[in-house]
Amino acid sequence: MAFKFENLKVWQRAVELSGEVDELTKTFPKEETYVLTSQIKRAADSIALNIAEGSTGQTDKEFNRFLGIALRSGIEIVTCLYIGRRRKIINQGDFDRFYVELTEITKMIQALRNSLK
C-alpha cells in the first residue's frame, strides 16, 4: 500500500461504512434526496476523507485536527440515524447496526487521537 492511511483499520472501516450508508440511502424516499440522504452520505464520506487527508504529510497536531473533524462527522451520522428513525425511513434493525458500527469507529478515532498526544 502506497499511502500511510491505507494501513489504518479505522480508515478501512470508515470506507466500508461509507459504502453501507450509500446502500442504506437507496431505500430513502425521493423527497429526502437533497435533505437527509445528502447529509448522511456526505458525513459518512467525510470520516474516511478526513482520516486520509490528515494522515498524509501532516504534523501530529494537524492530523489530530483532521481526526476531530472525522469524529464529528461520525456523531453527525448518529444524529441522522435518529432523524431517519423518527421519520420512519430507517428501521430499528438498521439503526442499531449503524449505531454499533459508529460507536466502534468513533472509539477507534479517539484512540488514534490519544496516541498522537
pLDDT single digits (tens) 3-62 = 989 999 999 999 999 999 999 999 999 999 999 999 999 999 999 999 999 998 779 999
pTM over 0.85: yes
Amino acid at 27: T
The pLDDT of residue 58 is 77
Q: Where are the domains of the chain?
A: 6-23+32-116
- Which cell numbers hold the place of 41? 452520505
Q: What is the CATH number of domain 6-23+32-116?
A: 1.20.1440.60
Say how far apart CA 53 and CA 23 lie, in whole Å. Answer: 24
Residue-wise over 45-60: b if at least 16 C-beta within 10 A, else e?
bbbbbbbbbbbeeeee
